[in-house]
């Protein structure tokens, strides 16, 4: 998420990319804030969480709870 756990810049905007990198390298507080936000975000994708989601989906499909539109 732009400004929360990183920066989004235009693919061809080298100046914006460089500025974002420099900001992260020179602002330790910002770096740590974004680092913590990133670590929190990736927890959603840990194997135990994903397995639970898939198990619920398969059970729902097997019992016909999920309907196709």
Is residue 49's pLDDT more than 70? Answer: yes
φ, ψ of residue 41 to 5 degrees: the values are -65, -40
The model's confidence at residue 68, banded by pLDDT at 50, 70 and 90, is low
**pTM of the full structure:** 0.62
Percentage of the chain beyond pLDDT 70 is 93
Nearest by Cα to 33 from 1, 68, 67, 57: 1
Average pLDDT over residues 28-57: 92
Average pLDDT over residues 49-53: 89
Residues 7, 50: Cα–Cα separation, whole Å: 26
Query: Around Cβ 23, how many Cβ atoms within 10 Å?
Result: 13
Residues 24, 58: Cα–Cα separation, whole Å: 42
Average pLDDT over residues 40-49: 90
């Amino acid at each position: 998420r732009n400004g929360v756990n990183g920066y989004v810049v235009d693919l061809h905007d080298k100046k914006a990319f460089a500025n974002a990198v420099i900001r992260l390298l020179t602002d330790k507080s910002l770096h740590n804030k974004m680092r913590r936000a990133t670590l929190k975000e990736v927890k959603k994708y840990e194997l135990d969480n994903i397995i639970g989601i898939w198990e619920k989906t398969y059970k729902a499909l097997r019992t016909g709870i999920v309907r196709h539109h």
